[in-house]
Structure 1
């Protein structure tokens, strides 16, 4: 029924676009025939708005993967470099929360591991909304920051890395079998702000899937029972995402965009000093306003990556930015 409703919505949208196009063209013809410049201008404005709508829907049409319409988990992990990298990880987390809020999605924080002095070591959020995974899957990989570190007393330029991992929330109809004997469970005390139960009991749960090495953790719930259930959902989702990734790599062995997702293979560089530039190393897309990007202006990068994958995964020949 959900698939049927989605198809009906798509068909209705196409018919509406066709009708609006016919109406605008008719108005232009009428305005020109009667010499009414105002009618022509209004119709041209309608055509421009129609073009923007079509462009947006053209991108959304690329989100046709098996799990693209699902909610998604997003993890951020700081790289080597101590406080500077941990601060960068927190900046990335804020960027994705801002993007999600601007897109009308709901965001839940599931787990945060604070840094020693500032920033975060790692964090996991849940983004809820239609096509959340389809959009955010383009952000998986290593992100590099170049700036004058506020933590360096000599004001030197530092390069920091943080990784982003994205995996979909799996539908109840998708059965993922996991042997409990393959999973190690650890409990520990939650960190950060919380109620009387959160910080005084071992309510946080970490699951390690031994065969794959996948690790998930949750401390958002008030009880260990809640966190354990959420962690198991996250683990099944991670295993499902790994299977989707294997399928895609098998079908598109030449798609470098997939093989580049890994530590040491940055997908994007954010340069704040000595000049300002954000550059996607897969598509070559640039933005000269890093602050806007860090405030959640990511659609240009996401759309370009989706278009590249739709074209068969060809990668742009771009130089790294230093």
Structure 2
């Protein structure tokens, strides 16, 4: 077997190892049998919420087991074909099996990443907010560039993007924007994007063509579904209505339909300015529930974040990525070291590599490669 093929086999085996760990393979088939037995219970649907959750969990486990078994079988079959082809001197069989192995390796790597999306809310839809930092027009333009990057990324993955609220910049760009992004694992993929993003470039707004540094912050928090209860007493919120600003003409609201909700105990403020007042209130309340749920997730993960901070990593609320357009071109994630010189591709939404690198970090801040080296 050629060295390249051996490396492909080793890559698939490593992916299978991680999948087995995440799945807890020794108990997975038994857990599926238990779920199947519970589904057959005639009293299950007396509690529809519990039944629906069980059905979702059962399907997720079943799909994971099928995926693991399929990849394992395809690895075994193709290795046997290569050995058979080499023994019989049939180069065509070997070439076909090697090509199949490469496809299996790609599938295994993708499933390995998806297996890392096992957090409590990773499968949920998500809210994503972009806020311009200090710096006037320059930072507002950078915020607009970031917003476009995330919309492009979401649309390229078949996700639905809904504009929730937007505050334009005084001369260009945006001061803030909020989207609801809907699709499988939307929160799980985007959660690592929370933090401060730094841009270095020759400013198009500077007549002297000087280099400027701009900052914008990104906040990501999961949409709270019916399985998660977040109780918000009326006494804990203040609701204000106001006239939203827009691009002018028919886009400017002529009534005080925009809604701002302030959560008094935490100081969290959410807004919605894209629909009727009734719809805005509902959208803002949903966003507030999501923010409070994210707050709870952050509390639970405080120990993990402390470990990252202790290692010198950028915390979720600190600078996480640098985008340099001049004097050279480079985008680099400060947590993982992942980088690329394809700045235009990144700004057009090609950020999967950065997300994958962050997901591959374990709770101790080690990459998968580092963890495997210690095994």
Q: TM-score, normalised by structure 2?
A: 0.79
Deviation of 1:195 after TM superposition, in Å, equals: 9.2
Alpha-carbon distance in structure 2 between the residues aligned to 1:196 and 1:119: 19
- Residue 261 of structure 1 aligns with which residue? 316
Alpha-carbon spacing, 1:281–1:16, altered in 2? closer, same or farther (3 Å) = same
Q: How does 1:114-133 map to 2 (within 5 A)?
A: 114-133=168-187
RMSD: 1.9
Indicate yes or no: 2:108 matched with 1:54.
yes
Alpha-carbon spacing, 1:117–1:198, altered in 2? closer, same or farther (3 Å) = closer
Deviation of 1:156 after TM superposition, in Å, equals: 0.4
Alpha-carbon distance in structure 1 between the residues aligned to 2:208 and 2:304: 50
Q: How does 1:155-194 map to 2 (within 5 A)?
A: 155-192=209-246
Q: TM-score, normalised by structure 1?
A: 0.92
SS in 1 for 2:148: helix
Q: Is the 8 A contact 1:255 1:314 kept in 2?
A: no
Counterpart among 314, 326, 333 of residue 273 in structure 1: 326
SS in 1 for 2:301: helix
Cα offsets for 1:255-288 (capped at 9, x unmatched): 32887232xx311100000000111111111111
Q: Is the 8 A contact 2:161 2:182 kept in 1?
A: yes
Alpha-carbon spacing, 1:4–1:194, altered in 2? closer, same or farther (3 Å) = farther
Q: Is the 8 A contact 2:314 2:334 kept in 1?
A: no
Cα offsets for 1:228-272 (capped at 9, x unmatched): 01100100110000000011114663232887232xx31110000
Q: How does 1:223-302 map to 2 (within 5 A)?
A: 223-250=276-303, 253-256=306-309, 260-262=315-317, 265-302=318-355
Q: How does 1:62-141 map to 2 (within 5 A)?
A: 62-141=116-195
SS in 2 for 1:146: strand
Higher helix fraction (1 or 2)? 2
Indicate yes or no: 2:70 matched with 1:16.
yes
- Number of corresponding residues: 311
Alpha-carbon spacing, 1:208–1:229, altered in 2? closer, same or farther (3 Å) = same
Cα offsets for 1:176-197 (capped at 9, x unmatched): 1112222111111233269969
SS in 2 for 1:231: helix
Tell me which structure has the larger Cα radius of gyration: 2
Q: Is the 8 A contact 2:333 2:354 kept in 1?
A: yes
Q: Is the 8 A contact 1:74 1:164 kept in 2?
A: yes
Q: Is the 8 A contact 1:189 1:201 kept in 2?
A: yes
Indicate yes or no: 2:345 matched with 1:307.
no
Deviation of 1:10 after TM superposition, in Å, equals: 0.6
Alpha-carbon spacing, 1:184–1:63, altered in 2? closer, same or farther (3 Å) = same
Deviation of 1:65 after TM superposition, in Å, equals: 0.6
SS in 2 for 1:253: helix
Deviation of 1:313 after TM superposition, in Å, equals: 2.9
